[in-house]
Amino acid sequence: MSASSDHANSVFASVVQAPEDPILGVTVAYNKDPSPDKLNLGVGAYRTEEGKPLVLKVVRKAEQLLVNDPSRVKEYLPITGLADFNKLSAKLIFGADSLAIQENRVTTVQCLSGTGSLRVGAEFLARHYHQRTIYIPQPTWGNHPKVFTLAGLSVKTYRYYSPNTRGLDFQGLLEDLGSAPAGAIVLLHACAHNPTGVDPTSDQWEQIRQLMRSKGLLPFFDSAYQGFASGSLDADAASVRMFVADGGECLAAQSYAKNMGLYGERVGALSIICKTAEVASRVESQLKLVIRPMYSNPPIHGASIVATVLKDRDLYNEWTVELKAMADRIISMRKQLFDALQARGTPGDWSHILKQIGMFTFTGLNANQVAFMTKEYHIYMTSDGRISMAGLSSRTVPNLTEAIHAAVSSVA
């Protein structure tokens, strides 16, 4: 029997080949390239100066403690996850002195990293919130619209990034949120906006808060980079805490992929802040009904690592030092790239590289220029010109500078 008739006989013969994920597809193409000079700036994961993945020393220590504890078992966790982890995660993002935590108005459930936290939150809102429209920034992380749409929410966008200034379109943001229907959900990146690296100032956050509260818009924070953006856990949670302090309700999705380097452990949390402890308890009961048929309960290992680090003062302090070192290396890469482009006399203003924050820089390069850099210089990035600063090193800055210079000089 020929291969083609095999296909015809398959009950799945009508299934079409899906396109590669635009972000993960960059790595697929990179892996196929035999060039020794190839550079992957598409991946959203930290790399050392040598270009290697990093497991934090504090994570290794915590794992050793867990392995050496004979009382540890592999039993199922509750539907909501590891209790210690949930309590400590809420404290980390909302602050140790948070009134909402003291008043038991917060419900926190362990989820499968940031994506899982967003999905569980979105499914809950689609079932139990009166407004099924969510506004997401334009642009935003590529997975956001898919997660919210599949959960049953209607996705709209608000202006966020200005290509002209390569900064925040604050006026556009205020206009779009100002004309959103009362009660609409608004996705906010807590810090280090992905993909642009452009964040509102503290004053701008306060104006956003006032506008959203006056219109009864519901904030849903995505916090993927706490401590990883500025090097300070508190500074990177300031926007979230501003909204929590006014006593209003909000949601927050947390991920430990970046700030603890636990990418493949899939460790995250969803917190919902409610008006009263009684409402929070009812919300938690419904979150369980979202989670149980989805994946029953979350994995134990990654959450145990996080809880071990967060509850031990010495390990926690050690973590903050390692976290700051990662943030500082990324900040130094920004400076090195900016200085190299200046020294090379590359056309254009590149100051946005220094102004943007976090793992990514939105270079302003267009899809044709990106394609040119991949073909001629074996440099891989997403077609929107987003580069991962964490994938850069002192060794690779000169080649990237050369590639950017050639691209902006010769490709429209």
d(CA 1, CA 234): 65
Q: Which residues pair with 360 in a beta bridge?
A: 388
d(CA 336, CA 341): 9
Place of tokens 């689609």: 126
**What single letter denotes the amino acid at residue 269?**
A
d(CA 384, CA 360): 12
User: How remote is the C-alpha of 153 from its chain's centroid?
Assistant: 20
Q: Point out the catalytic residue in the list 61, 176, 236, 258.
A: 258
Within a 10 A sphere around the Cβ of 208, how many other Cβ atoms?
A: 22
Contacts of residue 324, defined as CB under 8 A and 6 or more positions apart, other chains included, come to 227, 231, 232
335 a catalytic residue: no
d(CA 92, CA 408): 43
Place of tokens 């850069």: 392
Q: Point out the catalytic residue in the list 169, 199, 222, 236.
A: 222
Q: Which of 330, 363, 358 is nearest to 47 (CA)?
A: 330
205 a catalytic residue: no
319 a catalytic residue: no
Q: Point out the catalytic residue in the list 61, 141, 169, 350.
A: 141
Give the chain's radius of gyration (CA, Å): 22
Which residues are catalytically annotated?
A: 141, 222, 258
